[in-house]
């Protein structure tokens, strides 16, 4: 019997959840629990961490999971590393559903950096107005450049005081649209954008808006992960499920 654990938190995961529900699959959808009101799913849901690799191994065994699908965000590297380790230990087949990274086109002014610290260093010394489009995690390092005004777009209102002295906060959940993002950047007098190379159409709006406005983007590259099976579409995951037996499952 196939029993799937789907790790979510992305548009692609929600799309896959719909396909699994429509096909009557026995699947559990897992959220980290980072947002106040996660998008409802047409599958049984669980919310919260597993407790590291050991906790995930326990969960896979206890729930008799036969297939693990990692459809977390490309920057959710800890969770993805844990899936690789837990599946190696238990023999549960693993597949990652991951969107393609964005590639610079004509008119883009990107400075690609390896991590958040390098993004801070890439911002100018003179005061700027920065659209810090990286979510609520990883804001602290930008306190090293307090001379800038930071525009933040967050899913939930911040619960604690922000670590940055000059901010504007917009509460919104994607997908976004390029025209509206350009209006937002104009309204806030944005001069620089900091983004993660998340990939995907909904988050790409700000990149199109930056191009249209001729604004420089400091783009944080994806974290490197150990080798694993990765596909880019829901259909490929469904094909893998159909052709990957359960005999190696726990
Ligand atoms: N990072 C981003 O930029 C970003 C953007 C959009 C959405 N998200 C989504 O937000 C969630 C958290 O991202 P993150 O960057 O904080 O992840 P992370 O740093 O890789 O994960 C930290 C810990 O959170 C728990 N966790 C993460 N995803 C989980 C899931 N789907 N189900 C159950 N536990 C999960 C795990 O805890 P245990 O070790 O206790 O199991 C994991 O070790 C992910 O589901 C991701 O898809 C992230």
pLDDT digits (tens, 9 = 90+) for 196-238: 999 988 889 999 999 999 999 999 999 999 999 999 999 999 9
Residues with a CB atom less than 6 Å from ligand 1: 7-10, 30-32, 34, 49-52, 55-56, 72-73, 75-79, 82, 135, 196
The reported pTM is 0.91
Q: For ligand 1, what atom is nearest to the CA of residue 7?
A: 31
Nearest CA to ligand 1 atom 10: 9
What is the mean predicted confidence (pLDDT) over 36-44?
Answer: 93
Least confident of 117-126, 160-169, 197-206, 215-224: 197-206
pLDDT at 92 over 70: yes
Domains of the chain: 4-100+225-243 (3.40.50.720), 110-220 (3.40.50.720)
The secondary structure of 171-237 as a DSSP string is E--S---HHHHHHHHHHTT--EEEEE---SHHHHHHHHHHHHHT--EEEEPPPP-----EESSHHHH
Q: In which band, very low, low, confident or very high, does the pLDDT at 97 lie, cut at 50, 70 and 90?
A: very high
Q: Residue 40 belongs to what H/E stretch?
A: none
Q: Are 110 and 219 in contact (CB under 8 A)?
A: yes
Measured at the alpha carbon of residue 82, what is the angle toward residues 224 and 72, in degrees to the nearest 5? 70
Ligand 1 midpoint to CA 221 (Å): 18
Which of 71, 74, 76, 174 maximizes ligand 1 atoms within 8 Å of its Cβ, making it the mutation to test the pocket?
76
pLDDT mean over 56-68 = 98
Residues 111-121, buried b or exposed e (16+ Cβ, 10 A)? eebeebeebbe
Residue 98 CA to residue 197 CA, distance in Å, equals: 12
Strand arrangement, sheet containing 167-171: 110-113, 217-220, 192-196, 129-133, 149-154, 167-171
- What is residue 174's predicted lDDT score, i.e. its pLDDT? 87
pLDDT for 248 beyond 70: no
What lies within 8 Å, CB to CB, of 34 at 6+ separation is: 9
Q: Which residues contact 25 (CB under 8 A, 6 or more apart)?
A: 2, 4, 241
Evaluate if residue 99 carries a pLDDT over 80. yes
Distance set, CA 203 to CA 181, 193, 215 (Å): 10, 13, 17
């Amino acid at each position: 019997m196939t029993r799937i654990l789907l790790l979510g938190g992305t548009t692609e995961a929600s799309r896959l959840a719909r396909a699994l529900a429509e096909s009557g699959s026995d699947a559990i959808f897992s959220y980290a629990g980072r947002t106040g009101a996660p998008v409802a799913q047409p599958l049984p849901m669980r919310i919260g961490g597993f407790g590291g690799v050991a906790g995930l191994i326990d969960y896979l065994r206890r729930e008799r999971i036969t297939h693990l699908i990692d459809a977390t965000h490309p920057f959710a590297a800890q969770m993805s590393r844990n899936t690789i380790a837990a599946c190696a230990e238990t023999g549960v087949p693993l597949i990652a559903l991951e969107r393609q990274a964005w590639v610079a086109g004509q008119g883009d002014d990107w400075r690609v950096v390896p991590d958040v610290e390098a993004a801070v260093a890439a911002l100018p010394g003179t005061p700027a107005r920065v659209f810090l489009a990286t979510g609520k995690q990883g804001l602290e390092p930008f306190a090293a450049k307090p001379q800038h005004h930071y525009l933040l777009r967050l899913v939930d209102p911040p619960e604690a005081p922000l670590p940055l002295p000059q901010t504007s906060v917009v509460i919104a959940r994607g997908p976004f649209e390029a025209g509206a993002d350009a209006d937002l950047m104009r309204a806030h007098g944005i001069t620089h954008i900091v983004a993660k190379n998340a990939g995907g159409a909904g988050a790409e709006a700000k990149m199109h808006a930056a191009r249209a406005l001729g604004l420089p983007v400091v783009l944080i590259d994806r974290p490197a992960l150990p080798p694993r099976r990765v596909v880019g579409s829901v259909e490929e995951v469904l094909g893998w499920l159909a052709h990957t037996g359960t005999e190696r499952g726990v």
